[in-house]
Amino acid sequence: MPTSSLGTVSSEVVDTVPDFPFAAYVGVVRAYTTEITDNSKVSSELQEPHVAQCMKERGFTYSPQFFEDESSDWDMFPNGAVLHLPTLLNAREEVVKTGYGMFTAPELSLQTEAETENSNYRKSLSPAARDQYDLALLGYLSPYDPPDPNIPESCRQKAMREHPSPPVEETNKDLYWQQYGQLALAMDELVSWRVSEDLRVAVLNAEWNACMSKQSYDLTSGNLYSRSNVSPWAAYTRALRTKANGQLGESWFNYQFEQTTPLDERSLLGTPQELEIAVADFDCREETDYLNRFAQVQIELERTFVEKNKKQLDAMLAFAEQYPADR
C-alpha cells in the first residue's frame, strides 16, 4: 500500500509524460543527501542529563532523551520524476478503497518512553506554563521567531555550549554539501514551491478548486498555501483534519503539530469521510487534466533551470564519479 508523502509522484504521470529534465541528476542528489549519519547517541549522552538538571532548576520536570545514531531520511527526490502533490493511485476504484493511502500513525512506534513522558507532562501544563516550558527547554516558542536577546539561554542551548558534540568524521557527502549543497537545495525548492507558484498552476488550481466546490468542499480555510491558490494539498489537509468521528478538527499547520494535535488528526485513518475527499480530489484532477498540466509546467521550469546551471550540474556529476557517496 503506498503512503502519502511530500514529493511522491503518481505512477500515471510517469507513464504519460516525457522524462523530467532533473531525472539525469536526481540519482546523484539522492545519493549524497540520504543516509547521512549523525552522532545523536554520543551527543545525547553528553547533554541530556544536563538538560534535565537545568529544567529541574527552572521548576520543570524533564526526562533525558537518549538517541541512537541516525541516518537522515530527507529524500529530496524519492522517485526521480517528482511532482510535489499528494499521491493518489491512478485507478478510481482503488482510490475509493485506499484514499490517499496512509491509514496508521507510524510516528507512534518511533516515540521513546522519555519522549512520551515529556509530551504528557507538557500537555498537563496550562497554556502559559507550556510557553514557559518551551522557552526554558528550547529558547523560543516557534523556530521561525527571530532571535530575542531578552530570552535567557535555554537549557538545551546551555548543554550544547558546555558539552559540545564531538566532531563527525568528514565524508564525501559532507564535501558534496560544501560544494553543491546550494545547487541541490535550489533544485528541491523548484520542485517543492516554484512550480506551485507559477501562474499557469494558479489557473489550474482555480479550475480544480471550482470542481471541488461543486462537490460541496470549501477548501479556502486552513490551506497550506493561500486562499487564492487552493491546490490538492488543501484536500489532503482536509482529510488529515477529519477526525475518526467524521468531524473536522482545527488546522494543524504549526511547528508543535505532534505535541498539540490529537492522534486521529495526525494520520489518515481510512474513514468514509476521508475516502470521499480523496475520491473527489481524484475526479477533479481527472476533469482538469491536473497531473499532466502540472507536470508540463514543471518540465518547462526544470528545463530552464538545467540550461542556466548546466556547467555546475555537469561538475556535480563529475564530482560523483571522483568522490563516491559511500566513502
How far is Cα of residue 238 from the mean position of the Cα atoms in its chain? 17
pLDDT, tens digit (0-9, with 9 covering 90-100), for 245-295: 877 776 555 444 455 566 666 677 788 888 999 999 999 999 999 999 999
Q: What is the pLDDT of residue 113?
A: 65
Q: What is the CA radius of gyration of the chain?
A: 22
Average pLDDT over residues 289-306: 94
For 68-125, give the DSSP string.
---B----S-TTSS--SS----SSHHHHHHHTTS--S-GGGGG--HHHHHHHHHHHHS
pLDDT, tens digit (0-9, with 9 covering 90-100), for 87-141: 888 899 999 998 988 654 444 444 456 667 888 888 889 989 999 999 999 988 8
How far is Cα of residue 21 from the mean position of the Cα atoms in its chain? 23
Lowest mean per-residue pLDDT among 83-87, 101-105, 179-183: 101-105
As a whole number, the mean pLDDT across the chain is: 79
- Please report, for residues 3, 31, 114, 166, the alpha-carbon distance to residue 34 in angstroms, rounded to integers and kept in the order given: 19, 6, 27, 21
Confidence of residue 207 (pLDDT cuts 50, 70, 90): very high
Instruction: For the chain, give every domain's residue range.
Output: 11-37+71-106+170-322
Q: What is the pLDDT of residue 175?
A: 87
Q: For residue 115, which of 66, 70, 156, 73 has the smallest C-alpha distance?
A: 66
Asked whether residue 321 carries a pLDDT value surpassing 70, the answer given is: yes
Percent of the chain predicted with pLDDT > 70: 74
Q: What is the pLDDT of residue 167?
A: 76
Q: What is the pLDDT of residue 115?
A: 67
Q: 172-189 vs 26-33: helix axis angle to the nearest 10?
A: 130
Which set of grid coordinates corresponds to residue 159?
Answer: 548543554
H-helix segments, 138-167: 155-162
Q: Distance between CA atoms of 113 and 256, rounded to whole angstroms?
A: 19
Q: Among all chains, which residue has been given the C-alpha cell 537518549?
A: 66
Confidence of residue 171 (pLDDT cuts 50, 70, 90): confident
Asked whether residue 184 carries a pLDDT value surpassing 50, the answer given is: yes
Average pLDDT over residues 175-204: 89
- Who wins on pLDDT, 259 or 207? 207
- Who wins on pLDDT, 273 or 38? 273
Q: For residue 166, which of 53, 72, 40, 51 has the smallest C-alpha distance?
A: 40
Q: What is the pLDDT of residue 306?
A: 95
Which set of grid coordinates corresponds to residue 143?
Answer: 523556530
Q: Distance between CA atoms of 126 and 133, rounded to whole angstroms?
A: 10
Q: What is the pLDDT of residue 232?
A: 92
Q: For residue 325, which of 145, 150, 154, 171 has the smallest C-alpha distance?
A: 171
pTM value is 0.67
Q: What is the pLDDT of residue 15?
A: 37
Q: What is the pLDDT of residue 8?
A: 35
The helix/strand/coil state of 18 is coil
Q: What is the pLDDT of residue 227?
A: 44
Do 319 and 180 contact (CB within 8 A), yes or no? yes
Average pLDDT over residues 298-324: 94
How far is Cα of residue 74 from the mean position of the Cα atoms in its chain? 9
State the Cα torsion 289-291-292-297 to the nearest 10°.
120
Q: What is the pLDDT of residue 213?
A: 95
Average pLDDT over residues 68-81: 48
Binning the chain into helix, strand and coil, the percentages to the nearest 5 are 55, 0, 40
> Cα angle at 82 between 33 and 8, to 5 degrees?
85
